[in-house]
Amino acid sequence: MKKSIITGIGHYVPGNIVSNDDLAKVMDTNDEWIQERTGIKERRHLGKHSGVTTSDLGTKAAEIAIRNAGLTAKDIDFILFATLSPDYYFPGCGVLLQKNLGCDTIGALDVRNQCSGFVYALSTADAYIRSGMYKNVLVVGAENHSFGLDMSTRGRGVSVIFGDGAGAVVVSASDDENSGIISTNMHSEGEFAEELAVQFPGTKLGWSDVMLEEGNTLTPEQIYPYMNGNFVFKHAVTRFPESIREAFENSGESIEDLKLFIPHQANLRISQFVQRQLGLRDDQVFNNIQKYGNTTAASIPIALSEAYAEGRFQKGDLICMTAFGSGFTWGSVLMRW
């Protein structure tokens, strides 16, 4: 059976750096609070009127990944695009990427799994490759959060955490038994869907009626992201280790041999907690949330891309990528590079 290897990686982040001090100018917050709770020092923001969309960000990252794979857009057989901040309510970003890249009329599937979006998309790409259906699958995670964050004091519990960016990988079929994706897992618990959510636009609110109503009844809580931070934190620190252990189960691999753990960059405190629980050394965990904040579906591919560029793993090394987020959804991908 074919195995899935990553043949190209790329990432792109907007140039506009927003420091914690910059945020403190528009809302009641401060550098100390943000760093102590989240580890974040700065993030990238396109802002509300940049004219740059999520698919634009994804296109830039995808172009780099395809080039690094030594391929052209014509070699891509299928697109998986993960985002929670799509250009349109519908259609999804996948078709826009297909157009922007000039791919053939290949399939383009959108993944709506928020922080776990990239892990879900990568797991799906792996299944397609192993089934023999596709040879080269493009997997993209991209977010333009800044267009929809509440940048007033009311939104500070959420807005200080999130940033914009994109990452992409080309997943290709390989006959090499000694490298590639070893195991994946995906989970969900919809009972907690409203603990981290944006309700608008959505059919639960009867959104077209609400929009058209004179003096409409939408509240900021419905328009902007809502997050029950403590609740999310508690679940994340349980589900992360659970999913990682599951990835190793029956894999024939051991956690001690992990070269690099690349967690979804949710919060530095969550990553440190998970690191302690698993007994991993500092050099076995990659964190870049300090620079980019939480970029949701983009966070793992951006981190993977930077870690690779920094030489943090080489061919044959064991790496594990794990995410948890809104849904709740969570999952892991264990692979040998």
Catalytic residues: 115, 264, 294
The verdict on 262 binding ligand COA (CB under 6 A) reads no
Least distance CB 328 / ligand COA (angstroms) = 9
Closest CA to 240 of 212, 214, 220, 261: 261
Residue of 107, 148, 157, 241 interacting with ligand COA (CB under 6 A): 157
The verdict on 294 binding ligand COA (CB under 6 A) reads yes
Residues 191-230 that bind ligand COA (CB under 6 A): 227, 229-230
Whether the Cβ atoms of residue 265 and residue 299 lie closer than 8 Å to each other: yes
Distance, in Å, from the CA atom of 14 to the CA atom of 87, rounded to the nearest integer, reads: 16
What tokens appear for 18 in the block? 């927003």
Closest CA to 246 of 125, 162, 159, 330: 330
The verdict on 232 binding ligand COA (CB under 6 A) reads yes
The verdict on 302 binding ligand COA (CB under 6 A) reads no
Instruction: Please say which residue, 123 or 299, places its beta carbon nearer to ligand COA.
Output: 299
- The residues near 76 (Cβ < 8 Å, ≥ 6 apart) are 66, 101, 103, 106, 136, 137, 138, 170
Least distance CB 274 / ligand COA (angstroms) = 12
The verdict on 155 binding ligand COA (CB under 6 A) reads no
Whether the Cβ atoms of residue 30 and residue 20 lie closer than 8 Å to each other: yes
Name the closest residue to ligand COA (Cβ). Answer: 229
The verdict on 329 binding ligand COA (CB under 6 A) reads no
Instruction: Please say which residue, 37 or 130, places its beta carbon nearer to ligand COA.
Output: 37
The verdict on 270 binding ligand COA (CB under 6 A) reads yes
Instruction: Please say which residue, 10 or 325, places its beta carbon nearer to ligand COA.
Output: 325
The verdict on 20 binding ligand COA (CB under 6 A) reads no
DSSP code string of 23-72 = HHTTSS--HHHHHHHH---EEE---TT----HHHHHHHHHHHHHHHTT--
- The residues near 291 (Cβ < 8 Å, ≥ 6 apart) are 41, 42, 43
Closest CA to 284 of 275, 296, 295, 274: 275
Residue of 180, 325, 327, 331 interacting with ligand COA (CB under 6 A): 325
Instruction: Please say which residue, 38 or 184, places its beta carbon nearer to ligand COA.
Output: 38
Instruction: Please say which residue, 34 or 129, places its beta carbon nearer to ligand COA.
Output: 34
Residues in contact with ligand COA by the rule CB under 6 A:
29, 33-34, 37-38, 115, 156-157, 160, 227, 229-230, 232-233, 236, 266-267, 270, 294, 324-325
